[in-house]
């Protein structure tokens, strides 16, 4: 039972990271408002923004992000944090 829960945690963490990558890639391309791609992008944004925006605020307030950087590293850092968290939780639950 614990192994199944640990695998589900890893699966959802991986799915979430795929959504973050999709959001980052989709942001590079222009979209027409009201189209299906724009709707999909909005849905992905609604799912991922609550996790990415706190990291973005921390980066903006840090010496790394205060200068108005052109590249947004918040999705990358969020993905690293999610990987660490999901691995830690899955190992913890599997070891119970």
Q: How confident is the model at residue 1 (pLDDT cuts 50, 70, 90)?
A: confident
Q: What is the per-residue burial (b if ≥16 Cβ within 10 Å, else e) of 38-77?
A: eeebeebeeebeebbeebbeebeeeeebeeeeeebebbee
Q: What is the pLDDT of residue 35?
A: 82
Paired tokens of 60: 């903006």
40-88 per-position pLDDT tens digit: 999 999 999 999 999 988 888 777 666 666 778 889 999 999 999 999 9
> What span, in angstroms and rounded, lies between the C-alpha atoms of 9 and 95?
14
Q: What is the pLDDT of residue 64?
A: 65
User: Higher model confidence: residue 6 or residue 32?
Assistant: 6
- Do 87 and 81 meet the contact criterion of CB atoms below 8 Å apart? no
pTM: 0.82
Question: Where along the chain do its domains lie?
Answer: 2-94
Q: How far is CA 12 from the centre of its chain?
A: 11
Q: What is the pLDDT of residue 69?
A: 66
């Amino acid at each position: 039972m614990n192994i199944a829960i640990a695998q589900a945690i890893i699966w959802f963490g991986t799915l979430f990271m795929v959504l973050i990558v999709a959001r980052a890639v989709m942001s590079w391309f222009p979209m027409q408002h009201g189209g299906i791609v724009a709707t999909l992008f909005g849905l992905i944004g609604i799912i991922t923004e609550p996790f990415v925006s706190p990291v973005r605020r921390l980066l903006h307030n840090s010496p790394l992000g205060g200068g108005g950087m052109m590249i947004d590293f918040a999705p990358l850092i969020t993905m690293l944090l999610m990987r660490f968290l999901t691995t830690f939780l899955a190992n913890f639950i599997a070891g119970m």
